[in-house]
Structure 1
Amino acid sequence: MKVAVLGSGIIGTATAWWLSQAGHEVVVIDREPGPGQETSRANGCQISVSYAEPWANPQAPLRLLRWLTQKNAPLSFKPQFDLRQWAWGLAFLRECLPGRLAPNIRAMVAMAEYSLGTLKSMRAELGIEYNHLERGILNFYRDNEEFDASQKAADVMRDFGVDRRIVGPDEIVQIEPALEPVRGSIVGGDYTAEDESGDIYLFTVALAERARQAGVQFRYSTQVNRLVAAGGQVQEAEVINPDGLFDSVTADAYVAALGCWTPNLVSPLGVPCRVYPAKGYSATFDIIDESSAPMVSLTDSAHKVVYSRLGNQLRMAGVAELGGYSRALNTIRCENMSGLARDLFPTALDFDNVQYWSGLRPSTPSNVPLIGRTRVSNLYLNTGHGTLGWTMGVGSGRALADIISGKTPEPVFPFLG
């Protein structure tokens, strides 16, 4: 069967790889000049099974109200004249109901664990180098009330088998000595040794090359305009080639993996896709003092930012702005991130040459991604992974390839269709 995969981030590239391994003819189409150029380009790089929990929880509405008046709030809502944004927001509030937390966590953990196992097997088989570290993720807290509240979600995850171990300030510093200077401000934390980190962009580029060698065709700098459907099926994808001329791509099946732009493509066909962009920021620093730089991937819960070691660099990422499709950098946000990093690691990093970046995370109200078949018989979705595209990416691609191939995917997950 010929399958057209629309999008070449980690989600689309992994889907293409696993489809090719199942014996399908695959063509990947992306408007960018290469793979992984958008949300997969410079994110936080954590593979965080232990923190595969939704933003939507019973405490979220009150926190959002508090954050509305803060310029540097970790999650901000900027109202737009956009019905999709308001519909997404109302759906988000529904997902904050107490009865929704456990099923959402169950689904996210199931896919995240499956994806981590898939990644490990791919790493062993393909030998891809991407600055990965298997040192776990350490989440530290500076406020007792927040620490206690966080353990409610952590307890649910422990019930699902996630070993998210509570640790005190002394053990936190033992796990990551670079936090010794701020030991006095830390009240506690939790640590999961099985989690990993690594450069998603390096992995995506390398996997795309392996897929190309396996026969997958990549058509870059090619814009997908629309899907033309008739008789309950997609007949073709209308595209604009790099030379500016219109063209069409025909296939037996189509996978929409275009991140937060997926609704624009599938909604005209009557396919529901409640995905909205949550803009996130990252800052990448060169390390100038190895002795005071962290090696363990960290989450600063008070400020909702993460830190991951990538070779001789440290990647910091966080913030979520629900305010449209602009990727414009907010100077205040950028300066605030540098200030937070300086407070933690004042001598470790080169603060004069910071690489700032922003990306649009494709987020569902529940944070559970949309994976599976749609009401259009040969159209499939693989989108809505939010902050967990790297955590769930390769597993999502493998599971969808199984669905398209007529097999039952391994993880217990609420697949579409």
Structure 2
Amino acid sequence: MRVVVLGAGLLGVTSAYYLQQLGHEVTVVDRHATPAAKARGMATTASPHALRAAGAAPRRGKKLSRLCDGIRRGLSRLMDRAVGTPPKRDPLDHLVRLAAYSRKSARALREEAGVSHGSRSTGLLNLYTDADAFRVRIAGATHWSSLGCEERLLSADEALVVEPALKAMRSRLAGATYALEDPARDPAQFAASLVFLCRAAGVRFMTRHTVVALKERDGRIDHVELLDAAGQPTTLRGQAYVLALGASSVPHAEDLGIDMPLRFVREYIVTMPLLNPALAPRIPLRDRQGKLRITRIESPSGDQLRVQAIVQAGLDEEAEPDSDRFRAIVRRTEMLLPGVADAARASFDTAMQASSTNRLPMIGKTRLPNLFLNTAPGTRTWVHACGAGKSIARIVSGLRPELDFAFRRP
């Protein structure tokens, strides 16, 4: 079957690989010059043709659009229950199973095809400064393990052995969990190897092509309208289509009457030069109580500490201003890692993101029998790329997924 994958991010590339393995003829379309460009650090600013294409697809009028957006925000939870398959359990259960299945699939892929997992995998250390919260985590250990979670429970002293940089906060540390294989690590080398395997197997990549619109006819997708590298319109036809454009999937789906309920979040990013590299953490940290992710990064001017926090946009707008939130992030970081970073030279940034209202990636079928979704607006796709790609390939092929997950259904 001729399958067109729209989007060559990690989800699109893994979808293409597993579709090809199941015997399909696969074409992948992407606006960037290189497949998996973002994962490989090669993403560039959209060309004028791509920007023009973004406004080329038919859209609602501005007033009507605002009205529809308001209704969608107010009814987002209701729509999540009405569209697709609602999770039977906590969405976190689904995410943990998907991440575990992805790790298993990635390991099998590395062994069978010789794909490298990259050299930056150092693990992820989840820190608990609240003793009650850590006791709850201990009580749920059996449940998480049954879902495939591979985190190790660590006492405060054991956490110091894994990451000596925590010594200064020993009195505040209740415990930690440690995932040896951090699914959110830099996937550049893995992505490059997977693209190579796709090309070697015959997957066709149409780079520098921007998706303008998906056209429906007789209850099916008939063709896709594109703009090529020169800004010239062209069309592409297949027998099945996988929509893997991240947040850009949403307007195309909604133009086809496919609801993709979203919530908007704001990411706060604080970057600080290191005062004492010897005291800085080697392993990415997640502060469970402060809701921070702390990572040591390399830069031309020397190593830095990057601290990220994500807040639901609506709540943020009604609460403290950005300046207060940034100060709170800096204070919390200095409490956890005193004397490590130079707060006086901190730089600040924010970014708006969109994610599904139930926090789950959108994987599965739509009301159109030849259009499938594999998209995860606003999430770290590496966590579930292989599991999502393998699952959608089986769904497109008419096979039952191997994973128990809240897949979308028409």
Instruction: Please name the residue that 1:370 is paired with.
Output: 362
* The structure with more radius of gyration: 2
Q: Which of the numbers 216, 224, 248 marks the counterpart of 1:261?
A: 248
Instruction: Structure 1: give runs of 5+ residues left out of the alignment.
Output: 43-79, 324-329
User: For the residues of structure 2 that align with 1:163 and 1:275, how far apart are their CA atoms?
Assistant: 30
SS of the equivalent of 2:382 reads helix
Structure 2 residue 145 is matched with structure 1 residue 162:
no
User: For the residues of structure 2 that align with 1:415 and 1:114, how far apart are their CA atoms?
Assistant: 14
Assess if the C-alpha contact under 8 Å between 2:39 and 2:186 holds in 1: no
Instruction: Please name the residue that 1:83 is paired with.
Output: 71
Structure 2 residue 237 is matched with structure 1 residue 250:
yes
User: What do residues 327-351 of structure 1 show as CA deviations (whole Å, max 9, x unaligned)?
Assistant: xxx7776676566555545666687
SS of the equivalent of 2:23 reads coil
User: What do residues 261-310 of structure 1 show as CA deviations (whole Å, max 9, x unaligned)?
Assistant: 22211122222322445343556778786532323332111222223567
Residue 132 of structure 1 aligns with an amino acid whose one-letter code is R
Mapping of 1:51-200 within 5 angstroms?
Answer: 82-88=70-76, 102-124=89-111, 125-128=113-116, 130-133=118-121, 135-148=122-135, 156-193=143-180, 195-196=182-183, 198-200=185-187
User: For the residues of structure 1 that align with 2:167 and 2:259, how far apart are their CA atoms?
Assistant: 49
Mapping of 1:3-402 within 5 angstroms?
Answer: 3-37=3-37, 82-88=70-76, 102-124=89-111, 125-128=113-116, 130-133=118-121, 135-148=122-135, 156-193=143-180, 195-196=182-183, 198-282=185-269, 291-308=278-295, 316-322=307-313, 341=333, 344-345=336-337, 362-384=354-376, 386-402=378-394
Q: 1:360 to 1:156 in 2, by over 3 A?
A: farther
Assess if the C-alpha contact under 8 Å between 1:362 and 1:383 holds in 2: no
User: What do residues 8-52 of structure 1 show as CA deviations (whole Å, max 9, x unaligned)?
Assistant: 22111211122223332222222334344568969xxxxxxxxxx
Q: 1:141 to 1:197 in 2, by over 3 A?
A: same
User: For the residues of structure 2 that align with 1:118 and 1:146, how far apart are their CA atoms?
Assistant: 32
**Aligned-pair CA distance for 1:393:** 0.9
SS of the equivalent of 2:285 reads strand
Tell me the C-alpha RMSD between the 2 structures.
Answer: 3.9
TM-score, normalised via structure 1 length: 0.74
User: For the residues of structure 2 that align with 1:402 and 1:355, how far apart are their CA atoms?
Assistant: 45
User: For the residues of structure 2 that align with 1:91 and 1:252, how far apart are their CA atoms?
Assistant: 29
User: For the residues of structure 1 that align with 2:17 and 2:406, how far apart are their CA atoms?
Assistant: 23
**Aligned-pair CA distance for 1:403:** 1.9
User: For the residues of structure 2 that align with 1:216 and 1:287, how far apart are their CA atoms?
Assistant: 44
**Aligned-pair CA distance for 1:143:** 2.7
Assess if the C-alpha contact under 8 Å between 2:226 and 2:235 holds in 1: yes
**Aligned-pair CA distance for 1:367:** 2.2
Q: 1:354 to 1:377 in 2, by over 3 A?
A: farther
Q: 1:131 to 1:280 in 2, by over 3 A?
A: farther
SS of the equivalent of 2:363 reads strand
User: For the residues of structure 2 that align with 1:116 and 1:266, how far apart are their CA atoms?
Assistant: 29
Q: 1:334 to 1:205 in 2, by over 3 A?
A: farther
Assess if the C-alpha contact under 8 Å between 1:199 and 1:310 holds in 2: no
Q: 1:30 to 1:341 in 2, by over 3 A?
A: farther
**Aligned-pair CA distance for 1:190:** 2.7
Instruction: Structure 2: give runs of 5+ residues left out of the alignment.
Output: 43-67, 315-321
Residue 75 of structure 2 aligns with an amino acid whose one-letter code is A
User: What do residues 189-238 of structure 1 show as CA deviations (whole Å, max 9, x unaligned)?
Assistant: 33344555520344334433442343322233322121101111100111
TM-score, normalised via structure 2 length: 0.75
| 302-311 vs 393-402, which moves further | 302-311
**Aligned-pair CA distance for 1:115:** 0.3
* Percentage identity across paired residues of the two chains: 28
User: For the residues of structure 2 that align with 1:228 and 1:259, how far apart are their CA atoms?
Assistant: 19
SS of the equivalent of 2:384 reads helix
Instruction: Please name the residue that 1:54 is paired with.
Output: none
User: For the residues of structure 2 that align with 1:101 and 1:316, how far apart are their CA atoms?
Assistant: 34
Assess if the C-alpha contact under 8 Å between 1:41 and 1:200 holds in 2: no
SS of the equivalent of 1:3 reads strand
User: What do residues 336-374 of structure 1 show as CA deviations (whole Å, max 9, x unaligned)?
Assistant: 656655554566668799897766655222223221221
User: For the residues of structure 2 that align with 1:229 and 1:100, how far apart are their CA atoms?
Assistant: 29
Assess if the C-alpha contact under 8 Å between 1:30 and 1:222 holds in 2: yes
User: For the residues of structure 2 that align with 1:384 and 1:152, how far apart are their CA atoms?
Assistant: 30
Residue 31 of structure 2 aligns with an amino acid whose one-letter code is R
Assess if the C-alpha contact under 8 Å between 1:39 and 1:361 holds in 2: no
Assess if the C-alpha contact under 8 Å between 2:224 and 2:236 holds in 1: yes
Residue 252 of structure 1 aligns with an amino acid whose one-letter code is Q
Matched residue count? 371
